[in-house]
Chains A and B, each alone.
Chain A
Amino acid sequence: MSKEIMLGNEAFARGAWEAGVRVISSYPGTPSTEITEAAVKYDDIYVEWAPNEKVAVETAVGAGVSGGRSMACMKHVGLNVAADPFFTAAATGVNAGTVLVVADDNGCHSSQNEQDTRFYARSAGVPMLEPSSSQECKDFLKMAFDMSEKYDTVMLVRSHTRISHSRGIVETGEQKKPELKDYVKNTAKFVALPAAAVKLHIAQEQRLKDFQADSESFDINKITVNSKKIGIITAGICYNYAVEALPEASFLKLGSVYPLPMRKIKEFAGMVDELYVIEEGQPFIEEQIRAAGIDVSGKDRFTIQGEYSANMIRKAFGKPVADHEEANDAPIRPPVLCAGCPHRALFHILHKLKKTVTGDIGCYTLGTLPPTSAMDTCLCMGGSIGMAHGFEKARGKEFGKNVVAVIGDSTFFHSGITGLINMSYNKTAGTVLILDNRTTGMTGHQDNPCTGKDIRGNEAPAVDIPALVKACGAQSVRELDPFDLEEMEKAIREECEKDVLSVIISKRPCALIVKQPGIPYVITDKCRKCKKCMEIGCPAIETRGDEVVIVPERCVGCGLCPKVCPFGAIEKSAAAGAVKEGR
C-alpha cells in the first residue's frame, strides 16, 4: 500500500490489475487511451489494441465467458461501434467479471459529438458506476468486477475527460487475482437464439431489480447533510464542481448512476427544502427522479451543452464569483499538422485539384482547416468511404470523378474495409486514398495491424494493405510517397478518371515517429515573395512584414517547401551557410 499521483486513466489500469484482470482489449480514443497504455506495465495482464471497439468488446466478452476477468476501454463513440455485442452480452450475462470503461467528452475536447453514455446503460439494461476522482477510478473499477460476478452482468464504468485526464492522489492496494472460473458449455445462456433470448431478458430484468435494491445501501451512494435548504444530487465530475460552489448544501453523491437507488433519493428529498440534480449532458437522473413522483429541478437552470464548472454552478444559484480582469482579445491557436507531416503534402494537392473530399477521423481531419482547406465531410470512423459511395450514387459518375475518400491506416482497419467492399460490390468507380503513416497518430502513436508491432512492442504480423484492398475488389492500386508531389498529383488525376474502383496508398511515416533530417531550410535572396510556400500551412514558415522566413527551431528539414517554391529560393541552411539564423 502506498500513495501515488495517478492520472484517472492510470488509476483505472491499477484497479484492473488489483482486481486480477486477465485480458484487456481496446481501441485508442481520447480521453480513454491511457487506460490501456498504462495496463501494459502490468506483466501479468494480457493487453492488446484491437482493430476497433466491436472486436475489443467481443474479445472481452469471450474472455469473461471463458472464465477470466476482462475489460474493454473506449471513448463514448466507441461504444456506438461496439453496441451490437454490448446489447446482447447485456442479456446473456457473464461468467467471470466483465467491465467496459467508457469515457465521455463533454466539451468535445477531442471528439465529434457530446453523446451521453448513461443512456446506453439504461437502453441495454446494464448497471453503471461513475467515479469522481482518481482514487474512485481505481476503487470503483474493482467494485465493478465484483458486481459483475455477483449480479451476473456486464458492467459499465463511465469516465469523463476531466476524470480520465486529471491527476490525483491514489492509495494503492494489493492484487487479489481470482482463479479462472470453470468454463461449462451453456447454450441456454450463451447462444442468443430467439427462444433463449426471451428467457434471458426475464433474468436480466430480475438482476437489474436485485442490483437496484442493493444499491440503496451501497457506500458509494452517500448522503452528506449540511444546510437543509438546498439538496444536491450529483455524480462524477459534477460532484467536484458542486461541492466547491455550494459547500453549504446537502449532498447525495451517486456512485451508481444506473439503476438509481430511488428509495435513498426519496429519503434525501425528504431531508431538504429544495432538490436539484446537477449533471452535465442530458437530464438523465433528473427525469427518472421526476418520473418517480419526486419534486426536483436542474435543467431549468443548466444547459445540456458542454462542460460545467464551479462558477457556472455559483452563477446558477446566484452566488458571487471571483473578481477578474476582462479577457484579452487573443487570436485563436487551433491545432495544426506538425512540421514534416506527410498529410500536408497530400492536402496541398487535393486543394489544388479542387476535389470534393469525404474525410475521416485522425490527425488528417486538420486538413480541413486553412490554408489547405481540403476536406468536405467528417462523420465517423470509416465514414469517408461510405459517404464517397453515397455521393456518387446520388449525383452520378461524372460528379463521382471529382470525389475522393481520405482515410488513415488505423481508421481503415477500424471501419473502412467494409465500406471499400461495398464500393466494389455495388460498382462505384470511386477513388479512396489511404493515408498510411504507419501509426495511429492523433491518439499518441499506438501501433496498429499494419505496423508490425503489438502493444508491448513485440513483433507482430503486418497486414499488407495493397493485397488487402485488392482482395476487397479495388481494381487499380498504387502506393506512393505524398512528398513526390508531381507523381501523386498525376496518380490522383488518373485514378479519378478511371471507370474502376481505385485505391491510392499515400505512404510516408508520421514525422513524429521517424526522425527527420533536422537540417533546417532557409529562404534565400532568390525569393520573389509570391508566398506559394505559405499555402502548405507549415507552422515553421511565417511572414514577417513583407518577408517570408523559415523559423529554424521549428523546421524539421522535411523538404516539402522547396518543392512548392517556383523560384528555387528555398535551400538547406548548411548549403546557404545560415544555420540558426532568423529567430
Chain B
Amino acid sequence: MKDMNILIVGVGGQGTLLASVILGKLALEGGYDVKLSEVHGMAQRGGSVVTHVRISEDAVGSPLIEKGEADVIVAFELLEAYRWADYLKKGGRMFINDQEINPMPVIMGAAEYPKDARPVFQSKDGVKLMDALSIAEGCGSDKAVNTVLLGALSNELPFTEEMWIGQIENTVKPKFVELNKKAFALGRRA
C-alpha cells in the first residue's frame, strides 16, 4: 500500500471519532505517516460529521481528502453516505451501515429523506450495505456499530488481524473490549 484515503461519515454522537483514533494508531504501528481531521464542537450535537483519514508511505500534506479522492468511505448512516458519495474515487469502496436517522428538516416535513439512496447503493459496484446496527446489538451494544464497520474496513488495509485487535484493546474501555472484539470479527467476516 502506497497511500490510502478513508472518509468516515456519520451523525454527531455516533462514535466516528473512536474509529479514526484506532486507524491513526494502526498507521503509526505499521510505519506509515498519517493525518486525521475531525469535527468537534457544535456539529457534534446531532449534525453531519466527517473524519478524514490519510495514510501514506510518504509525508502526508493536506489533512483533508478532496472530492473523488477517497479510496474508501465508511458511512455510519445512509443519508450521510449519500451526502458524501462524490468524495469516492472511481473504483473506490463504500461500507454503509444501512440505518436511517432523519435530520430535523425531514422530521419536520420540510424535506424528504432521499428515496433513491438505498437502491442507488444496492446496485453500485464496490458498495456494501450492512446492518451494522443489528450486528452491534447482537454483540451487546448499539454503540459497537463503529467496530463492526472497522471490521469491514479492515479487509481493505494491510494490517494484520492481531494488530487491529491490539489497537482495539489499547483504545476502548476494558469492560467493553470483548464486546468490541466480537463486533470487529463479525464485521470483518460480514
- A interface list, Cβ under 8 A from B: 3-5, 7, 30-31, 33-34, 109-110, 133, 162, 165-169, 240-241, 243-244, 309-311, 321-338, 363, 366, 369-371, 442-444, 534, 537, 539, 541-543, 553
Q: Which residues of A contact B41 (CB under 8 A)?
A: 30-31, 109-110, 442-443
**Contact residues in A for B107 (Cβ distance below 8 Å):** 534, 537, 539, 541-543
The stretch that binds A, out of B45-53, B147-155, B175-183, is: B45-53
Closest to B105 in A: A331
A332 with B64: CB separation less than 8 A: no
Q: Say how far A35's CB is from chain B's closest CB, in angstroms.
A: 12
Separation of A162 and B41 alpha carbons in the complex (Å): 13
Alpha-carbon distance A110/B66, docked complex (angstroms)? 22
A369 to B45, CA, bound (A): 13
Given contacts A322-B68, A542-B102, contact A444 B61 (CB under 8 A): no
Partner of A334, one of B24, B63, B103: B103
B68 touching A166, Cβ below 8 Å: no
Q: Identify the closest chain B residue to A314 (Cβ).
A: B66
Contact across chains for B103 and A324 when beta carbons are under 8 A apart: no
B104–A336 contact, CB under 8 A? yes
9 closest residue pairs by CB, A with B: A324-B68, A110-B41, A30-B41, A322-B68, A244-B61, A335-B47, A331-B111, A333-B103, A330-B83
Residue interface mask B36-63, A partner, CB < 8 A = 1:
1111111111111000000000001111
- Do the beta carbons of A162 and B47 come within 8 Å of each other? no
B37/A165 in contact, CB under 8 A: yes
Q: Which of these, A162, A322, A363, contacts B69 with CB under 8 Å?
A: A322
Cross-chain contact B108 with A371 (CB below 8 angstroms): yes
Main secondary structure on B side of the interface with A: mixed
A244, B69: Cα distance in complex, Å: 13
Contact status B104-A309, CB under 8 Å: no
A30 near B42: Cβ-Cβ < 8 Å: yes
Query: What chain B residues lie within 8 Å of A332 (beta carbons)?
Result: 48, 103, 105, 111
CB-contact partner of B35 in A166, A327, A370, A553, under 8 A: A166
CB distance from A284 to the nearest CB of B (A): 21
Cβ contacts under 8 Å, B40 to chain A: 30-31, 33-34, 110, 165, 444
CB-CB < 8 A to B90: which residues of A?
323
CB distance B39 to A109 under 8 Å?
Answer: yes
Q: What is the minimal beta-carbon distance from A73 to any residue of chain B, in angstroms?
A: 14
Known: A110-B43, A325-B68, A443-B41. 12 other contacts (CB 8 A): A5-B27, A169-B33, A241-B62, A324-B69, A328-B117, A330-B79, A332-B111, A333-B47, A333-B79, A334-B47, A370-B108, A539-B46
Q: Is the CB of A335 within 8 A of B35?
A: no
Q: Which residues of A have CB within 8 Å of B161?
A: none
Min Cβ gap B37→A in Å is 5
B45 near A337 with CB under 8 A, answer yes
Asked if A5 meets B103 with Cβ closer than 8 Å, knowing A322-B89, A323-B90, the reply is: no
In the assembled complex, which residues on chain B have CB atoms less than 8 Å from the CB atom of A541? 107
Fill in one digit per residue for B86-110: 1 if any A CB lies within 8 Å of its CB, else 0.
Answer: 1111100000000000111111111
Name which of B41, B44, B67, B110 has the most chain A CB atoms within 10 A of its CB: B41
- Evaluate whether A331 and B79 lie within 8 angstroms (CB atoms) in the complex, with A109-B39, A167-B35, A322-B66 already known: yes
Rounded to whole angstroms, the CA-CA distance of A311 and B86 in the bound complex is 14
A473 to B90, CA, bound (A): 66
Contact B11 A333 (CB under 8 A): yes
Contact, CB under 8 Å: B114 / A328: yes
Instruction: State in angstroms the CA–CA spacing of A34 and B114 once bound together.
Output: 36
Number of A-B contacts (CB under 8 A): 174
With a 10 A CB-CB cut-off, give which of A31, A167, A366 has the most chain B CB atoms: A167
Contact residues in B for A166 (Cβ distance below 8 Å): 35-38, 63
Does the CB pair B34–A169 fall under 8 Å? yes
Are A5 and B21 closer than 8 Å at their CB atoms? yes
B20 engages A331 (CB within 8 Å): no
Partner of A331, one of B37, B61, B62, B113: B113
Residues on B with C-beta less than 8 A from A534 are 107-108
Looking across the interface, which residue of chain A has its beta carbon closest to that of B32? A169
Bound-state Cα–Cα, A118 to B104, Å: 38
- Residues of B in contact (CB 8 Å), total 58
Q: Which single member of B42, B111, B112 contacts A110 (CB below 8 Å)?
A: B42
Would you call B43 and A240 a contact (CB within 8 A)?
no
Known A3-B28, A553-B142; judge A165-B39 contact (CB<8 A).
yes
Chain B: minimal CB distance from A408 (Å): 14
Task: Tell me, rounded to whole Å, the shortest Cβ–Cβ distance linking A413 to chain B.
Answer: 20
Q: Is B187 an interface residue (CB 8 A)?
A: no
B25 at the interface (CB under 8 A from A): yes
Closest B residue to A543 using CB positions: B109
A310 and B68 contact, CB distance less than 8 A: no
Please, how many angstroms separate the alpha-carbon atoms of A133 and B37 in the complex? 11
- Which residue of B is nearest A339, CB measured? B46
Residue in chain B with minimal CB distance to A442: B42
**Residue ID in chain A nearest B87 by CB atoms:** A324
Neighbouring A residues of B25 by C-beta, 8 Å = 5
**Residues of chain A with a CB closer than 8 A to B47's CB:** 333-336
Contacts of A110 in B (CB 8 A): 40-43
The answer to whether B108 touches A167, judged by C-beta atoms less than 8 angstroms apart, is: no
Shortest Cβ distance from residue B65 to the other chain A in the assembled complex, whole angstroms: 9
Q: Which of B62, B83, B90, B103 has the most CB of A within 10 A?
A: B62
8 contacts between A and B (CB under 8 A): A5-B34, A30-B40, A110-B43, A240-B62, A322-B67, A324-B68, A335-B46, A553-B142
Cβ-closest chain B residue relative to A168:
B35
Contacts of A337 in B (CB 8 A): 45
Q: Which residues of B contact A338 (CB under 8 A)?
A: 45-46
CA distance A309 to B141 in the complex (A): 38
Contact string against A for B residues 7-40, beta-carbon threshold 8 Å, 1 for contact and 0 otherwise: 0000110000000110011011000011111111
Check A324 against B88 for contact (C-beta < 8 Å).
Answer: yes
B129 within 8 A of A: no
B104 close to A539 (CB less than 8 A): yes
CA distance A323 to B142 in the complex (A): 36
Taking the nearest CB of chain B, how far is it from the CB of A435, in angstroms?
Answer: 15
> Contact partner of A363 among B11, B21, B39, B45, CB < 8 A?
B45
Complex interface residues of chain B between 134 and 187 (CB less than 8 A to chain A) = 142
Contact between chains at B114 and A331 (CB < 8 Å)? yes
Q: How far is the CB of B158 from chain A (nearest CB, A)?
A: 18
In whole angstroms, what is the CA distance A3 to B64 when docked?
Answer: 22
Kindly state the separation between the CA atoms of A169 and B54 in the bound complex, as whole angstroms: 12
A109 adjacent to B46 (CB under 8 Å): no
Expressed in whole angstroms, the minimum distance between the Cβ of A418 and any Cβ of chain B is 26
Contacting residues, chain A, for B86 (C-beta < 8 A): 324-328
B114 x A323 contact (CB < 8 A): no
B68 touches A165 (CB 8 A): no
- Bound CA–CA A326/B112 (angstroms): 19
Instruction: Report the bound CA distance from A324 to B106 in whole Å.
Output: 27
Q: Tell whether B85 is near chain A: CB-to-CB under 8 Å.
A: yes
